[in-house]
Structure 1
Amino acid sequence: MQNSRKINHLIKFCKDFELNFLTFDHYAHGLSTGSFLNDPDGNVTIGRWFKDLCLLMKQETCGPQILIGSSMGVWLALLVLLKNNHLKNNVYGIIGVAPSINFTEKIWKEVEDLGLLDNFSKKVPTEIIYNRPSKYSGSGGYPISLHFLQESRNHYLHKEILGGKNISCPITFIHGQGDEDVSYHDTLKWAKLLTPDENAKEKVKVVLIPDGDHRLSREQDLKVLDEEIVNML
């Protein structure tokens, strides 16, 4: 939260429009407890983040919510809509910025190709670490445990999304066509999965920014985000 340009922008936006706004650092991120590097009990998981999101929505919000997720946050938002029967009716809409749905699927394949699974039977999954190169990390990479990747497979959305029967609210995806981390073609595919019939097509919208990158934090990018929030409101 502390260094996120999008978060700071949304805080100002919500103050200007007199809207309530909830944001938080996921477990092992920012000011929250937990550590990617020291996680012997395997608490750093997609499931943990999904559970925390649901808990905060239940305890700290009321009435209809617009869930705004960036990258992995879009995956978590869709999990609420598709897997939490108690909270899905509170989701008035979802706005996804540079969606990275099921992103660990790609990383799992990288781990397989690198042969890190060869020692699976000899080590505890939390001890098998893949230091994945990343231009967003000060150290040059993000440590990802095999346990994290294993657990994430429990939350893949293929089966839930196919058919789109559970989609009951408008969804807008914003994606930069210059995104080098997640292809905008993936977002177009997800949009099609969410729109199996004519009624669903009215609910799912994709906004492409020709020169946008993965972060979409430039002023012109944030202006597009503002417009889509206003449209949904």
Structure 2
Amino acid sequence: MSDPQYLETPQGRRIAWHRTEGQGPGVVFLGGFRSDMEGTKALWLEDWARKAGRAFVRFDYSGHGQSAGAFTDHCIGDWAEDAAAVLDALTEGPQVLVGSSMGGWIALLTARAHPERVAGLVTIAAAPDFTEDSMWAGFDDAQRAALERDGVVHLPSDYGEPYPITRRLIEDGRAHLVLRAPLHLPFPVRFLQGTADTDVDREVALRLLDHATGPDMRLTLVDGADHRFSDPDCLALIGESLEAVISRAARAG
């Protein structure tokens, strides 16, 4: 594993990144909640991009992986700012965003705020608005009281230590919801979702498809695929979806 390079964002945060040089439109991978850029999908995409001669960037949000800061000090708005900083400083021209889980939400926020920088979008088990619709909606009275009293609650995780969920994360999430207002995606979009995903229900994918508008949107449900979406068939589908988005973006001009 090579050492990352670091970018200081306009907000003064220090985030780690790796970049593969190549032709455009480039691909930017946006990882999930408490994930990092050394995961299976990020590294597979880097290899895919290198073989295709395609520019590629992977990075860690603030408080994630090799980037600076504590996870509990950051929130959705910070991570969206990190993504915008990466686009501005490390890429040229419109990019294809690949957003996994929370990264799907970040990709949608990026597309809404900077549509001129987005050539296309591939999401994998996208989790838009999850702080409100999954976390807050699922809290019982005791958890909500603890959040108000202590500023944090801890939720069990299938991926390791319990997740610390801060009051700031929940409150900031409400300022960045994408399923409550018009969401136009004027470029090729491919939503990918596994039917055996226990973290993001397929109804979220259907709601996103129904809510967003755009000239070229498709949802693919993969029977039996889980939230990781990282077995060989799922990875191949991500690559196929990327190729389709890039091809259709080129034809669109």
CA distance in 2, matches of 1:7, 1:23: 7
| 1:99 equivalent in structure 2 | 126
Structure with greater strand percent: 2
Once residues 197 and 143 of structure 2 are traced to their aligned partners in structure 1, the CA distance between those partners, rounded to angstroms, is 28
Cα deviation for residue 158 of structure 1 reads 2.5
- Does residue 177 in structure 1 map to residue 177 in structure 2? no
Superposition deviation, residue 114 in structure 1: 3.5
SS of 1:155's partner is coil
Q: After TM superposition, what 4+ stretches of structure 1 lie above 3 angstroms from structure 2?
A: 116-121
* 5+ long unaligned stretches in structure 2: 1-35, 247-253
Matches within 5 A, 1:153-192: 153-161=174-182, 164=183, 166-192=184-210
Matched, 1:131 2:154: yes
SS in 1 for 2:109: helix
Alignment CA distance shift 1:89-1:209 (3 Å): same
Q: Deviations over 1:30-68 (max 9, x none)?
A: 1011123xx5xxx41100000111011011111120000
Cα distance in 2 for partners of 1:158, 1:114 equals 25
Q: 1:115 aligns with which of 124, 130, 142?
A: 142
Does 1:203 pair with 2:216? yes
What do residues 183-207 of structure 1 show as CA deviations (whole Å, max 9, x unaligned)? Answer: 1121012101114xxxx3x411001
Give the aligned residue type for 1:24.
Answer: F
Which residue does the alignment assign to 1:5? 40
Q: 2:243 aligns with which of 206, 230, 233?
A: 230
Do the aligned partners of 2:104 and 2:127 also contact (CA within 8 Å) in 1?
A: yes
Q: Secondary structure at the match of 1:216?
A: coil
Q: Aligned partners of 1:13, 1:134: CA distance in 2, in Å?
A: 30
1:88-113, Cα deviation, whole Å (9 max, x unpaired): 112011100011111111211233x2
How far apart, CA to CA, are the structure 1 residues paired with 2:99 and 2:230?
A: 13
Query: Does residue 1:151 correspond to 2:172, yes or no?
Result: yes
Q: Distance in 2 between matches of 1:224 and 1:114?
A: 41
| Maintained 8 Å contact 2:124/2:229 | yes
Compute the TM-score of the two structures, normalised by the length of structure 1. Answer: 0.85
Superposed displacement of residue 120, structure 1: 6.5
Change (3 A) 1:142 1:119: closer
What is the CA deviation profile of residues 129-158 of structure 1, one whole-angstrom value per residue up to 9, with x for unaligned ones? Answer: 111011112x2x111111211111100112
* Residue in structure 1 matched with residue 211 of structure 2 by the alignment: 193
In the alignment, the residues of structure 1 paired with residue 66 and residue 146 of structure 2 have an alpha-carbon distance, to the nearest angstrom, of 34
Q: CA deviation at 1:119?
A: 5.8
Measure the CA separation in 2 of the matches of 1:132 and 1:224. Answer: 31
Aligned alpha-carbon RMSD (Å): 1.6
